[in-house]
Amino acid sequence: MRAVLLTALLAVASRPGAQAVQLGRLDPKQLLGSWYVLAVASSEKGFVAEKATKSIEGVVVSLTPEDKLRVLSSRHRLERCDLSVMELLRQDAGWVFENPSLGVLEYRVLGTDFQAYAVVFTQLELEDEAFSTVELYSRTAWAGQEAMQQFAKWSRGLGFLSQQRAQLQTDLTCAQKAFQ
């Protein structure tokens, strides 16, 4: 049954111009806590040239008293690690968050086992550049086979080329900044 549902979701998501589909019963509280970002697919300009130098990143997801999703992240950028915080507002329809004033047009979970991993889609518009990413979040610094397969299926299904995908290096230095 799970395989049939995933196949149907991928078929919808892989159509030309299709948006990422909604994961129906996800409670945002299931995404709370610390995550390692182990793999990334990105259409961001410059990603392909930089992907070989990117290390595992860290993300801490929490809810504010106003029910905003707060995402603290340590992101590997141009040979350095940046720490940033963004608060995302829930959209009216489904489990989708956004903050257009920060350039985040869409933030949603595509797939998860609700415990060990999540595949997260983000659509961004920063400095007149529109791009999207698919990231593999993991509760541990390594990913199981199911998690990697889900990341690969979603990133391919959403049209990311092999050169636009990267499994991040196992250096945890940047990730640890988010967890401190």
| Lowest mean per-residue pLDDT among 27-31, 67-71, 107-111, 137-141 | 27-31
Whether 143 is in a domain gets the answer yes
pTM score of the predicted model: 0.84
pLDDT band at 22 (very low <50, low <70, confident <90, very high): very low
Whether 150 is in a domain gets the answer yes
- Secondary structure of residue 142 in the 3-state scheme: coil
What digits encode the pLDDT tens for the residues 122-173? 999 998 899 999 999 999 999 999 999 999 999 999 999 999 999 999 999 9
User: Is 1's pLDDT higher than 60?
Assistant: no
Whether 5 is in a domain gets the answer no
- 171: domain CATH number is 2.40.128.20
Domain count, the chain: 1
Q: Cα(117)–Cα(119) distance, rounded to whole angstroms?
A: 7
Triad 133, 5, 32: Cα angle to 5°: 50
Shortest CA distance to 80 belongs to which of 60, 54, 58? 54
As beta bridge partners, residue 130 has: 125
**Tokens found for residue 133:** 């990413």
Whether 96 is in a domain gets the answer yes
Question: What's the rounded mean pLDDT across residues 20-35?
Answer: 71
Whether 79 is in a domain gets the answer yes
Q: Cα(40)–Cα(18) distance, rounded to whole angstroms?
A: 20
